[in-house]
Amino acid sequence: MKNLLLLAVVALLALTPAFAQNEKYLQAMTAALQTFQQQTSGEPDAAAMQELANRFERIGAAEPNEWLPRYYAAYAYGTLGFSGDNLRTKDQYLDKADALLKEAERIPSQQADELAVMKAYITQARLAADPMSRWQTYGAQFGEYLAIAKKSNANNPRIYYLEGTNLFYTPEEYGGGKKAAKPLFEKAMEKYAHFQPASTLHPQWGKEHTRWFMEQCNQ
Amino acid sequence: MKLLYVLLLIGLATTTQAQTLVSGKVTDRKGHALPGANVFLKGTYDGTTTDTLGIFRFSTFEKDSATVAVSFVGYEGFEQKIRLLGREVPLVIKLAEAASELNTVVITAGAFEASDEKRMAMLKPLDIVTTAGAAADITGAMQFLPGAQRVGEQEGLFVRGGSGLETKVVIDGMIVQNPFFSSLPDVQQRGRFNPFMFKGTSFSTGGYSAQYGQALSSVLLLHTTDRVSNNGLGVSLNLANAGLNYDHVGAKQSVSAVAYYGNLKPLFALVKQNVDWLRAPEFVGSSLTYRLKTTPHGLLKVYGMYSDSRLSMNTRDPGRESGQTKLDLTNRNAFVTSTYTDQWADGRWLLNTGFSYSRNADGMTFDGLGFDRFDERTQARAVLTRQLPGNSTVLFGAEVHAIRLENGVEGVLYSLQDNYSAAFVETEIYLSRQLAARLGTRAEYSSLLNRFNLAPRLSLAYKTGPYSQVALAAGQFYQNPDYRYLYLNQNLGFERADHAILNYQIIKNKRTFRIEAFYKNYAQLVREYTGQAFDANPYRFPWGRTDNAGYGYAQGFDVFWRDQKLVKNFDYWVSYSYVDSRRLFQQFEVSATPTFVSNHNASLITKYWLEKIQTSLNLTYAFTSGRPYYNPNHEYFLRDRTPPVHLVSLQASKLTSLKGNFVVLYASLDNVLNTRNVFTYRFTPDGQTRYAVGPQSYRSFFVGMQIYLSKKAKVDKADL
For the segment B633-672, what is each residue's pLDDT rounded down to a tens digit?
Answer: 988 999 999 999 999 999 998 888 777 777 888 999 999 9
Q: How many residues does chain A have?
A: 219
Name which of B67-76, B477-486, B516-525, B706-715 the model is least confident about: B706-715
Q: By three-state DSSP, how is residue B438 classified?
A: strand
pLDDT exceeds 80 at position B279: yes
Mutate to test the interface with A, among B116, B714, B717 (most CBs of A within 10 A): B714
Distances in whole angstroms, Cα of residue B150 to Cα of each of B110, B156, B420: 18, 9, 31
Distances in whole angstroms, Cα of residue A120 to Cα of each of A73, A156, B435, B611: 15, 13, 37, 28
Is residue B708 a contact partner of residue B661, using CB atoms and an 8 Å limit? yes
Residues on chain A touching B195 (C-beta within 8 angstroms):
none
Q: How far is the alpha carbon of A6 from chain B, nearest alpha carbon, in Å?
A: 6
Question: Which of B95, B126, B141 delimits the end of a domain?
Answer: B95
User: Is residue B499 very low, low, confident or very high in pLDDT (cuts 50, 70, 90)?
Assistant: very high
Quick one: which H or E segment has residue B39? strand B38-41
Q: How far is the alpha carbon of B202 from chain A, nearest alpha carbon, in Å?
A: 17
Please state, in angstroms and rounded to a whole number, the distance separating the CA atoms of residues B305 and B286.
6
Q: Do A57 and B71 touch (CB under 8 A)?
A: yes
| Domain assignment of residue B101, yes or no | no
Q: How far is the alpha carbon of B243 from chain A, nearest alpha carbon, in Å?
A: 21
Measured distance between the N- and C-terminal CA atoms of chain A, rounded to whole angstroms = 75
Q: Do A175 and B45 touch (CB under 8 A)?
A: no
B197 with B270, same domain: the answer is yes
Q: By three-state DSSP, how is residue B268 classified?
A: helix
Please enumerate residues of A whose Cβ is less than 8 A from a Cβ of B.
2, 5-6, 9-10, 13, 16, 24, 28, 47, 50-51, 53-55, 57-59, 61-62, 77, 88-89, 92-93, 96, 131-137, 139-141, 144, 147, 170-176
Residues on chain B touching A135 (C-beta within 8 angstroms):
229, 716, 718-719
Nearest residue in B to A64, CA atom: B43
DSSP B483-543: HHHHTT-TT---EEEEEEEEEEEEEETTEEEEEEEEEEEEEEEEEEE-SS-----TT----
The per-residue pLDDT for B710 is: 67
B134 with B267, same domain: the answer is yes
Looking only at the bridges linking them, the beta strands covering B167-171 and B218-224 are parallel
Residues 6+ away with beta carbon under 8 Å from B28 = B34, B75, B94, B95, B96, B97
Number of domains making up chain B: 2
Q: How far is the alpha carbon of B688 from chain A, nearest alpha carbon, in Å?
A: 56
Q: How far is the alpha carbon of B511 from chain A, nearest alpha carbon, in Å?
A: 15
Residues on chain B touching A174 (C-beta within 8 angstroms):
655, 662, 713-716
Q: Do B712 and A175 touch (CB under 8 A)?
A: yes
**b/e per residue B69-98 (b: at least 16 CB within 10 A):** bbbbbbbeebeeebebeeeebeeebebeeb
Nearest residue in B to A16, CA atom: B11
CATH number of the domain to which B91 belongs: 2.60.40.10
E strand intervals along B614-699: 615-624, 628-629, 640-641, 645-658, 661-670, 680-683, 690-693
Q: Do A132 and B718 touch (CB under 8 A)?
A: yes
Mutate to test the interface with A, among B48, B103, B116 (most CBs of A within 10 A): B116
Please state, in angstroms and rounded to a whole number, the distance separating the CA atoms of residues B290 and B616.
32
Residues on chain A touching B232 (C-beta within 8 angstroms):
none
| Domain assignment of residue B148, yes or no | yes
Please state, in angstroms and rounded to a whole number, the distance separating the CA atoms of residues B366 and B373.
13
| Domain assignment of residue B3, yes or no | no
B82 with B191, same domain: the answer is no
The dihedral sign for the CA sequence B44, B50, B54, B60 = negative
Which residue among A58, A141, A174 places its CB closest to the CB of B38? A58
Nearest residue in A to B611, CA atom: A171
Residues 6+ away with beta carbon under 8 Å from A151 = none
Could you tell me which of B211, B193, B182, B198 has the C-alpha nearest to residue B124? B198
B611 with B676, same domain: the answer is yes
Task: Provide the CA B524 distance to its chain's centre, in angstroms.
Answer: 28
Please state, in angstroms and rounded to a whole number, the distance separating the CA atoms of residues B714 and B707.
12
Residues on chain A touching B711 (C-beta within 8 angstroms):
175
Higher pLDDT, B11 or B492: B492
Residues 6+ away with beta carbon under 8 Å from B295 = B342
Please state, in angstroms and rounded to a whole number, the distance separating the CA atoms of residues B383 and B401.
15
Nearest residue in B to A175, CA atom: B714
B201 with B326, same domain: the answer is yes
Q: By three-state DSSP, how is residue B140 classified?
A: helix
Distances in whole angstroms, Cα of residue B98 to Cα of each of B92, B262, B461: 19, 53, 19
B24 with B169, same domain: the answer is no
Average pLDDT, chain A: 84
Q: How far is the alpha carbon of B73 from chain A, nearest alpha carbon, in Å?
A: 6
B398 with B342, same domain: the answer is yes
Tell me the count of A-B CB pairs closer than 8 A.
Answer: 110
Q: By three-state DSSP, how is residue B200 classified?
A: strand
Which residue among A2, A47, A140 places its CB closest to the CB of B229? A140
Which residue among A55, A88, A139 places its CB closest to the CB of B229? A139
Written as one letter, the residue type at B154 is: Q
Beta-bridged to residue B394, according to DSSP, are B386, B427
Q: Do B717 and A132 touch (CB under 8 A)?
A: yes
Q: Do B718 and A62 touch (CB under 8 A)?
A: no
Please state, in angstroms and rounded to a whole number, the distance separating the CA atoms of residues B486 and B548.
12
- In B544-665, which residue ranges form alpha helices assigned H by DSSP? none
| Domain assignment of residue B210, yes or no | yes
Number of CB atoms found within 10 A of residue B653's CB: 23
B87 with B144, same domain: the answer is no
pLDDT exceeds 60 at position B715: no
The per-residue pLDDT for A219 is: 77
For the segment B246-255, what is each residue's pLDDT rounded down to a tens digit?
Answer: 988 877 888 9
Q: By three-state DSSP, how is residue B334 classified?
A: strand
Please state, in angstroms and rounded to a whole number, the distance separating the CA atoms of residues B647 and B645.
7
Number of CB atoms found within 10 A of residue B687's CB: 12
ipTM: 0.85
Please state, in angstroms and rounded to a whole number, the distance separating the CA atoms of residues A81 and A134.
15
Which residue among A2, A5, A176 places its CB closest to the CB of B714? A176
**Four-point Cα dihedral A23, A24, A27, A33, nearest 10:** -130
pLDDT exceeds 50 at position B547: yes
| Domain assignment of residue B13, yes or no | no
| Domain assignment of residue B392, yes or no | yes
The per-residue pLDDT for B13 is: 45
B79 with B133, same domain: the answer is no
Q: What is the mean pLDDT of residues B344-362?
A: 93
| Greatest mean pLDDT among A33-42, B19-28, B283-292 | B283-292
Distances in whole angstroms, Cα of residue B295 to Cα of each of B342, B420, B552, B574: 8, 33, 51, 44
Q: What is the mean pLDDT of residues B431-447?
A: 93
Higher pLDDT, B32 or A42: B32
B62 with B199, same domain: the answer is no
Q: How far is the alpha carbon of B262 from chain A, nearest alpha carbon, in Å?
A: 28
DSSP B33: B
Please state, in angstroms and rounded to a whole number, the distance separating the CA atoms of residues B652 and B277.
29
Q: Do A9 and B712 touch (CB under 8 A)?
A: no
Q: How far is the alpha carbon of A21 from chain B, nearest alpha carbon, in Å?
A: 10
Residues on chain A touching B4 (C-beta within 8 angstroms):
5-6, 9
Q: Is B40 exposed, middle or buried (0-12, 13-18, 19+ CB in 10 A)?
A: buried
B66 with B199, same domain: the answer is no
Measured at the alpha carbon of residue B176, what is the angle toward residues B171 and B178, in degrees to the nearest 5? 140
Is residue B575 a contact partner of residue B141, using CB atoms and an 8 Å limit? no
Q: How far is the alpha carbon of B633 from chain A, nearest alpha carbon, in Å?
A: 55
Q: How far is the alpha carbon of B466 from chain A, nearest alpha carbon, in Å?
A: 14
Which residue among A61, A133, A139 places its CB closest to the CB of B40? A61
User: Is residue B157 very low, low, confident or very high in pLDDT (cuts 50, 70, 90)?
Assistant: very high
Written as one letter, the residue type at A153 is: N
Please state, in angstroms and rounded to a whole number, the distance separating the CA atoms of residues B107 and B104.
10
Nearest residue in A to B117, CA atom: A134
Question: Which of B95, B121, B152 delimits the end of a domain?
Answer: B95
Which residue among A6, A57, A172 places its CB closest to the CB of B3? A6
User: Is residue B299 very low, low, confident or very high in pLDDT (cuts 50, 70, 90)?
Assistant: very high
Nearest residue in B to A29, CA atom: B45
Q: How far is the alpha carbon of B224 from chain A, nearest alpha carbon, in Å?
A: 12
pLDDT exceeds 70 at position A3: no
| Domain assignment of residue B8, yes or no | no
User: Is residue B120 very low, low, confident or very high in pLDDT (cuts 50, 70, 90)?
Assistant: low
Q: Do A175 and B713 touch (CB under 8 A)?
A: yes
The dihedral sign for the CA sequence A146, A149, A151, A154 = negative
Higher pLDDT, B15 or B569: B569
CATH number of the domain to which B684 belongs: 2.40.170.20
Higher pLDDT, B185 or B242: B242
Q: What is the mean pLDDT of residues A128-138?
A: 79
Q: Do A174 and B49 touch (CB under 8 A)?
A: no
The per-residue pLDDT for B226 is: 82
Looking only at the bridges linking them, the beta strands covering B148-149 and B111-115 are unpaired
Please state, in angstroms and rounded to a whole number, the distance separating the CA atoms of residues B175 and B163.
17
For the segment A140-178, what is each residue's pLDDT rounded down to a tens digit?
Answer: 888 889 999 999 998 999 999 998 988 888 877 677 788
Is residue B493 a contact partner of residue B479, using CB atoms and an 8 Å limit? no
pLDDT exceeds 80 at position A136: no
| Domain assignment of residue B106, yes or no | no
Q: Do B714 and A9 touch (CB under 8 A)?
A: no
Please state, in angstroms and rounded to a whole number, the distance separating the CA atoms of residues B475 and B453.
13
B42 with B179, same domain: the answer is no
Domain that holds residue B686: 111-719
Nearest residue in B to A26, CA atom: B45
Question: Which of B67, B95, B123 delimits the end of a domain?
Answer: B95
Q: Do B249 and A92 touch (CB under 8 A)?
A: no
Which residue among B4, B38, B716 places its CB closest to the CB of A132? B716
Q: By three-state DSSP, how is residue B132 classified?
A: coil
Q: How far is the alpha carbon of B86 from chain A, nearest alpha carbon, in Å?
A: 22
- In B580-634, which residue ranges form alpha helices assigned H by DSSP? none
Which residue among B45, B100, B716 places its CB closest to the CB of A174? B716
Nearest residue in B to A88, CA atom: B102
